[in-house]
Structure 1
Amino acid sequence: MAETVPGAASDATPLHDILRSRGYVKLLLFSALLGVPIALACFLFVSLQHWLQHGVWESLPRAVGYDEPPWWWALPALLLAGLLLAPIVTRAPGGGGHVPVKGLAGPPSGPAALPGVLLAALSTLPLGVVLGPEAPLMALGSGLALLTIRSAKRRAHPRAALVLGTAGSTTAISTILGGPLVAAVMMVEAAGLAGTQLVVLLLPCLLASGVGGLVFTGFGEWTGFTIGALQLPVVPPNVSPDAGDFLWGIPLAVVIAVVVTAAHRVGYLTAEWTGRRTALRTVVCAVAVGVLITAYALITGRSPAEAALSGQATLGALAADPQAWSVAALVVLVLCKGLAWGISLGALRGGPIFPSVLLGAAMGVACSGLPGLGTAPALALGMATATAVVTRLPVTSAVLVALLMGGDAANQMPLIAVCAVVGFVTAQLLDRGAAAGRGTGGA
């Protein structure tokens, strides 16, 4: 792998010379081989997380005599999550993973941080933390990939190690985001590369995630375990967007972007607050999340599980039967889960994407009663806008939501693309305004 590695090449290097080099061929073969064990490890991780989550929020309530979790269920669950997480973020190497409010960017996680990341995820996400599994999965993929290279080689060939770590994390994230396509687009858009460098980096990631996705899906079908991927089993009836959907959709995308950005900024405030006396304040934040989930259950009379966790199950239920939620219930869900998500982003550990998709969907469906706005377009534009705001990757967001919409994707794609761009631009403008305000205040 030392002869020619991604990152060492420049656009002036002929692409065919790189692709034919001995080092790069080794890198491609190694990436393909890595896809198999990483996919199996990811399968075990998400299956175990789903099994623990099912036990906490379904089996245990029934065992103590409840058909569904009672309104107070989140309070002890989130207290326990905070108590378990506090020593991990203060003592474990890597602090249990990066703070979610910073997004999924940054260098691949190394093997040393992997035990803390997995322990933090498996001990808190099933208890109701309002975050998804995508960040721990990416850390698992990159950590396992880098574990295959001796530390001396990683230091000697940092660019090759970076590519393998990226391929590992791309493989991992592809298992829950609809396959290699979304993961590859995410990697391309986030990397910000072009020309030869992009092609050289993209091929190992595509190869590893493609092999890994095949293994992951096949193993899931063979075992019958639920693997927890982000998906919509049922979507509202197919309706092509018309002028009314666009007339409502663009201003609605701006509103959704403002709300999601506001919730995201709660994460920055929380992260700053927990920077001191971290252990105690981590527990306090976890309890605050539990209080917000409880408030949702008390106000709406619905299950607290809808406001807890990553939102994957609630998203599927909302898409399958939007009429089961009143507008008031959806508004309370956005307020309570949005604040809980913001606190979780700054203090707890997990991924930021899954809950944001639900928040956008809930806001879209809540507005679907407006004259001329259909339910399916409202659902699609809400998810696309919120995802673009959080990831700051509008193309990735559009592709992800198109895959979620399934057979209705072709109809909704124009609206999805427009609203993803509107959400992204709005979030950028809000960030610029906030930065200008802080600069003025500091002056």
Structure 2
Amino acid sequence: MSDAAQVGARPAPSVKTLVIMAVPAVAVGIVSALMLWLLDAVSGWLEGLLWETIPHAFGASESTPWWIFTVLTATGAAVGLVVWLVPGHAGPDSATTELVSRPLRLRVLPGLLLAVVLSLAGGVSLGPENPIIAINTALSVAVLARFAKRIPQQLVLMLAAAGTIGALFGTPIAAALLFTGTVAAIKGSGALWDKLFLPVAAAGAGALTMHLIGGSSMAFQVAPITHPDGWMLLWGVLVAAVSAGIGILCAWALPLVHRAFHALRNPLLVSLAGGVVLGLLGMLGGPMTLFKGLEQTGALISHPDDYGAGQLALFAGVKVLALLVAAAAGFRGGRIFPAVFIGTALGLLAHVLFPGIPLSLAIACGALGIVLVAARDGWIAMFVGAALVGDPAVLPMLCIIVLPVWLLVTKAPELVVKPRGATALSRL
């Protein structure tokens, strides 16, 4: 049983208890969203400085190859210095962490925040998901342990994770799906929705807060499928399986790449070497292959006809390598958002090569396959695929397509480096 499942083996909560507990749950969700928004705002400001203001003074732009190399190399050096010298060493290596892990000590958070801001602003191919969940859970556990001691720590952790996931994906559904298996394992009486009530409240508050303050969203719109048929299911399984296969190759390679970089031992040298390699990859793939990938995913989906098969293959290939290097070389960040970009590029590539595959299905299945590897959760993979295209006809097809692809993924390596004694609360 996971640690999260140990929240309680207790009787079903009363309506009064759920109402009272909903207050801190909503508060945790709101604060989690505000922390994510603040992280995005600060990293976005620094990104604008690094990629727009400063290069113009040198007659360069974000697309200038030498500037891409310079910024990523400097980012590697800066992150390495933070990991090496700042107290707490920016927390655990992100390559070894899953989406939801044990709460960090507060002294770790300043270094982790600094490393994440530098990574996001510097164009590193990692998302904010793992670090911001770690930050929000640590803060929530510390605050509620002081002012609401009767709330179990593991429940607080679940609320903070749910609120942050709701804010990240712009909807509480993602968090509800993610924690369905966890809360179902909790012993005690009561309906499943009694156990999901508080996480969904936190996730809903987080998602609504992000909408109100203008946060980014993963939801896009693609021309819907008009006449679904059985052949589309076969094409969808093929696209998702190829995408999952590429994800499995990444999962197999990550420990090897991680070992190679960390043979340098000193954190500064590890991240500096990673920054150099990322700079070379950025020069090859251009701005489209930099950063966490959400805006770039939107650009691909909004203008699919602007990219040929060669460009899409280049984007996907460079991003795969960039994700591996960024995850292995000591940078702080998550792997879900870059995986979404890779899956989107692979789906568009499948549509270009085989125009008979509907565009929305191709994109959704491309994302589903590799996110299934990165997340090890079918619900999240289906949610991401469906949210990307906004086509109701795709969702029931994804429910079928995910089944054979899961058989391919379930015994494959995970996209994480497993240190000895590591414990996670969620298999993400």
TM-score (norm 2): 0.85
Residues 257 and 37 of structure 1, relative CA distance in 2, 3 Å threshold: closer
CA distance in 2, matches of 1:86, 1:67: 25
CA distance in 2, matches of 1:338, 1:114: 29
Question: How big is each residue's C-alpha offset from its partner over 1:149-203, in whole Å with a ceiling of 9 and x where there is no partner?
Answer: 457997xx7x811211221122122112122111221233466725648656532
Query: What are the equivalent positions in structure 2 for 1:160-175 lying under 5 Å apart?
Result: 160-175=152-167
CA distance in 1, matches of 2:275, 2:200: 37
Q: What code does the residue aligned with 1:170 have?
A: A
Match of 2:410 in 1: 428
Match of 1:7 in 2: 6
CA distance in 2, matches of 1:150, 1:195: 23
Match of 1:132 in 2: 127
Q: Structure 1 residue 216: deviation in Å?
A: 2.7
CA distance in 1, matches of 2:81, 2:402: 39
Q: Which moved more, 1:131-140 or 1:203-212?
A: 203-212
**Structure 1 spans left out of the alignment, 5+ residues:** 221-226, 297-303, 433-443
> Does the aligned pair in 1 maintain the 2:218–2:387 contact within 8 Å?
no
Query: What are the equivalent positions in structure 2 for 1:11-410 lying under 5 Å apart?
Result: 13-15=10-12, 18-19=13-14, 27-66=21-60, 68-92=62-86, 94-101=88-95, 102-150=97-145, 160-189=152-181, 193=185, 196=188, 201-220=195-214, 227-232=215-220, 234-276=221-263, 277-279=265-267, 280-296=269-285, 304-347=286-329, 348-368=331-351, 369-370=353-354, 372-406=356-390, 408=391, 410=392
Q: What code does the residue aligned with 1:292 have?
A: L
CA distance in 1, matches of 2:400, 2:254: 27
CA distance in 2, matches of 1:153, 1:381: 44
Q: Structure 1 residue 27: deviation in Å?
A: 3.9
Match of 1:301 in 2: none
Match of 1:441 in 2: none
Residues 38 and 104 of structure 1, relative CA distance in 2, 3 Å threshold: closer
Q: Which moved more, 1:69-78 or 1:270-279?
A: 270-279
> Does the aligned pair in 1 maintain the 2:131–2:334 contact within 8 Å?
yes
> Does the aligned pair in 1 maintain the 2:94–2:327 contact within 8 Å?
yes
Aligned residues: 404
SS class of match (2:354): coil
SS class of match (1:107): coil
Q: Structure 1 residue 344: deviation in Å?
A: 1.2
> Does the aligned pair in 2 maintain the 1:137–1:173 contact within 8 Å?
no
> Does the aligned pair in 1 maintain the 2:103–2:137 contact within 8 Å?
yes
Question: How big is each residue's C-alpha offset from its partner over 1:371-398, in whole Å with a ceiling of 9 and x where there is no partner?
Answer: 5312221111111111111100011221
> Does the aligned pair in 2 maintain the 1:109–1:143 contact within 8 Å?
yes
Q: Structure 1 residue 252: deviation in Å?
A: 2.4
CA distance in 1, matches of 2:337, 2:356: 28
SS class of match (1:148): helix
CA distance in 2, matches of 1:255, 1:269: 22
Q: Structure 1 residue 59: deviation in Å?
A: 4.1
> Does the aligned pair in 2 maintain the 1:385–1:419 contact within 8 Å?
no
Question: How big is each residue's C-alpha offset from its partner over 1:16-75, in whole Å with a ceiling of 9 and x where there is no partner?
Answer: xx33686x7654332223333332222222122223223333444445444652123221
> Does the aligned pair in 1 maintain the 2:127–2:336 contact within 8 Å?
yes
CA RMSD after TM alignment:
2.8
Identity fraction in percent: 25
> Does the aligned pair in 2 maintain the 1:265–1:342 contact within 8 Å?
no
> Does the aligned pair in 2 maintain the 1:230–1:354 contact within 8 Å?
no
> Does the aligned pair in 2 maintain the 1:178–1:403 contact within 8 Å?
no
Q: What code does the residue aligned with 1:337 have?
A: K
Question: How big is each residue's C-alpha offset from its partner over 1:113-170, in whole Å with a ceiling of 9 and x where there is no partner?
Answer: 221221111112111110011112212221221221457997xx7x811211221122
Match of 1:300 in 2: none
Q: Which moved more, 1:89-98 or 1:281-290?
A: 89-98
CA distance in 2, matches of 1:8, 1:331: 45
TM-score (norm 1): 0.82
SS class of match (2:120): helix
Q: What code does the residue aligned with 1:142 have?
A: T
Match of 2:422 in 1: none
Residues 211 and 205 of structure 1, relative CA distance in 2, 3 Å threshold: same
CA distance in 2, matches of 1:151, 1:185: 30
**Structure 2 spans left out of the alignment, 5+ residues:** 415-428
SS class of match (2:168): coil
Residues 8 and 307 of structure 1, relative CA distance in 2, 3 Å threshold: closer
> Does the aligned pair in 1 maintain the 2:244–2:405 contact within 8 Å?
yes
> Does the aligned pair in 2 maintain the 1:36–1:212 contact within 8 Å?
yes
